[in-house]
Amino acid sequence: MHYGGDYNPEQWPESVWPQDVARMREAGVTMVSLGIFSWSRIQPAEGEFDFAWLDRVIDLLHEGGIAVDLATATASPPPWMHEHYPDVLPVTAQGVMLGPGSRQHYAPSSPTYRRLAGDLVAALAQRYVDHPAVVMWHVNNEYGCHVHEDHSENAQRAFREWLERRYGTVDALNEAWGTAFWSQRYTGFGQVRTPAAAPYSHNPGQLLDFKRFTSDMLLECYLMEKEILLEAGAKQPITTNFMGAFKPANYRQWVAHLDVVTDDCYPDPNDAESFRDAAFQRDLVRSLKPHVPWLLMEQASNALNWRPSNAPKAPGQMEALSWQAVGRGADGVLFFQWRQSRAGAEKFHSAMLPHAGTDTRTWREVVRLGRDLATLPELPAGQAGARVALVFDWEAWWAIESPDHPHNGIDYLAIIQRWYRALHRAHVAVDIVGPDQVHDRYQLAFAPLLYLLTDSGAQALTSFVDGGGHLVAGPFTDVVDARDQFRDGGYLTQLRDTLGVTVEDFGALVSPGGGPGESEARASGACGDFTGGFLAEEVHAGGADVVAEFTTGRRHGDAALTRNVHGAGVGWYLATVPDEAGVDTLVRHFLDDAGVAPVLGGVPAHVDVSTRGDVVTLINFGSAAVTVDVQGQDLLADAPVTSVTLAPFGVAVVRRQR
Ligand code: GAL
């Protein structure tokens, strides 16, 4: 179990470093991420490296028994780079060049940036690849977190090359993008540009490919660095830190190239329900690389600096959120950052060692957590044994949030998280997977808003139901193919037989307060009553049973929820986007119908329950104490229990008796 944080010793005089190491030992720190923003310190000029200071820091940490997750330091280029090579800077869709003075001011596709970053990584690797303190390589930092897309001339060239590799001929590109529309037909790749500012809507195929390209450019940067590390003989695990459900980077494609998934997570302490979205994020990163424990690479010990208002965490809240990560498969808890900065944009951001010193609640909590984590026995790897899959797909996300749809206000992630929160309140273990990963390990799979459905995804969902799985699909699902084009034969072409319905119209509703027209559609049936928004589709049940009908508005009396017995399984189709209460009602019904049991029964909704092999973690995120029956060995108290009482933010980690 690793414990620690980002360590930025270059911000401090050398006399502070030994105190840092002593304090780290006091806090139970086992590993720090070193050098993430040290480029200008390590390389004051092109071709000139200063490693002496870094040698001393690494040796000092090593003598103190602190392992090093060594960063490649390529996340924030030094000032000499743009001085000599201004073309490395990224450009927004509006044509604004993003200048230096902050961080991440580089175009991922810039050959100059890549060459100079590569030089730095090669020099670092050569020097430290065999250093016994270095146990992991931290490539770059949060790829794309600020620069979500780039329209520089480097990007123009790289986009054309990427398209040429993907399509081979310009005719194939024309076909994929449907450029017969609006006179967009290209006669050479040289005519194609990124979808930057334009008079009106862009070609949806182009938008989708630009998202793919952007994710690929960032991944290429990672792979370039990884290759250099491996060539230098790196034996340590290599990683880069993720940001959960981060739209610009399709982490599901990246993950094969990471030895260990590491993730940064910053729930808002002001939001009493943010722990559920944090749980979603943990389950997502756990599901990205099952069987391999992941690391919580960054979180805050207390307040942040970057929200409009940065509330402190409540007493115990940081520890509760840390245990949530461990319960959901993390083998390490680390922070941004070790010592609070005294200058710079993040000087108000909390740290393990606060600016106010060690006589602080933050420090006491940090020390207590370090001690508690150290007492844990080895935990089983990150499997939750989930029987429920929630489909969350980057390509569907990109495509559904393209403009010019029946309803243009759909926030894909927010709706997926709405379903997750209902499953979380029901204390059911959930894997968050791509459509291709839905298979017979699961009993029940949810595929809401799977607007873009690939052939292989459709095949996986179909055989899942054929083989006995229960699939909940819709609305606005199976609408387009991987090019964002309609398939022949209407909508729902791939899942029609499985679901036993056809979709004639999407029936857009207005957003609440969004002007005249219906903004919600109520429905009622054997599953209970629920209210939907965004869409009230016109669905015709072929072989499927109508389980709920719309009771209001223009769809009054029509199918709102259908159930189709197909093969050995069941295909549900939902014709609207249920609100939070509606999702709760429906989730209960689907779980019952599929026979899925909670991890633990009789637990209040605000208690977070997770499993990790035979270990169950219970965390009280409510404001009153609760007692929960659970039998086994309490690993923190090292005592057998038949029930645990949890104060607000109280935690129990229990190895259950078989
Ligand atoms: C992360 C970043 C860190 C630090 C932190 C502050 O996005 O990786 O360097 O800026 O946010 O919350």
- 227 Cβ contact list (under 8 Å, min separation 6): none
CB burial of residue 244 (10 Å; 0-12, 13-18, 19+) = middle
Same-domain pairing of 481 and 622: no
pLDDT at 382: 65
Residue 367 banded pLDDT, cuts 50, 70, 90? very high
In the chain, the number of structural domains is: 2
Task: Tell which atom from ligand 1 comes closest to the C-alpha of 241.
Answer: 8
447 inside domain: yes
Same-domain pairing of 645 and 526: no
Contact, 6 vs 42, CB < 8 A? no
pLDDT at 585: 98
Q: What is the pLDDT of residues 31-63, one digit of tens each?
A: 999 999 999 999 999 999 999 999 999 999 999
**Which secondary structure element, helix H or strand E, spans residue 207, and what is its range?**
helix 204-231
191 inside domain: no
Could you give the CA distance from residue 565 to residue 560 in angstroms, rounded to a whole number? 17
- State which residues form the domain around 421: 388-594
Residue 381 banded pLDDT, cuts 50, 70, 90? confident
**Residue whose CA lies nearest to ligand 1 atom number 5:** 336
Q: What is the pLDDT of residues 239-279, one digit of tens each?
A: 999 999 999 999 999 999 999 999 999 999 999 999 999 99
400 inside domain: yes
Same-domain pairing of 521 and 413: yes
Could you give the CA distance from residue 171 to residue 189 in angstroms, rounded to a whole number? 10
Contact, 121 vs 221, CB < 8 A? no
Same-domain pairing of 629 and 532: no
pLDDT at 383: 72
Same-domain pairing of 526 and 468: yes
100 inside domain: no
- Any atom of ligand 1 within 6 Å of the Cβ of 298: yes
Question: Degrees (nearest 5) of the Cα angle 417, 451, 262?
Answer: 45
Looking at residues 574-596, what average pLDDT do you find? 98
- Any atom of ligand 1 within 6 Å of the Cβ of 142: yes
**Residue whose CA lies nearest to ligand 1 atom number 6:** 336
Q: What CATH number is associated with residue 464?
A: 3.40.50.880
Beta strand spans in 120-219 (E): 134-138
Q: How far is the CA of 177 from the centre of ligand 1 (A)?
A: 37
Q: Beta 626-634 vs 639-646: how paired, if at all?
A: antiparallel
Of the residues 573, 594, 615, the one at which a domain ends: 594
Q: How far is the CA of 34 from the centre of ligand 1 (A)?
A: 14
**Nearest alpha-carbon partner for 23 in 340, 495, 331:** 340
235 inside domain: no
Which one of the listed residues 149, 298, 401, 537 is annotated catalytic? Answer: 298
Contact, 607 vs 552, CB < 8 A? no
- Any atom of ligand 1 within 6 Å of the Cβ of 240: no
Same-domain pairing of 526 and 630: no
Same-domain pairing of 494 and 639: no
Q: How far is the CA of 472 from the centre of ligand 1 (A)?
A: 37
Same-domain pairing of 404 and 481: yes
Could you give the CA distance from residue 461 to residue 22 in angstroms, rounded to a whole number? 55
Same-domain pairing of 629 and 514: no
Could you give the CA distance from residue 330 to residue 324 in angstroms, rounded to a whole number? 9
Same-domain pairing of 633 and 564: no
pLDDT at 384: 75
Q: What is the pLDDT of residues 417-454, one digit of tens each?
A: 999 999 999 999 999 999 999 999 999 999 999 999 99
Phi, psi angles (nearest 5°) of residue 555: -95, 10
| Ligand 1, pocket-test mutation among 264, 281, 305, 340, most atoms within 8 A of CB | 264
Same-domain pairing of 612 and 590: no
Same-domain pairing of 615 and 581: no
Q: What CATH number is associated with residue 637?
A: 2.60.40.1180
Q: How far is the CA of 216 from the centre of ligand 1 (A)?
A: 22
- pTM of the prediction? 0.98
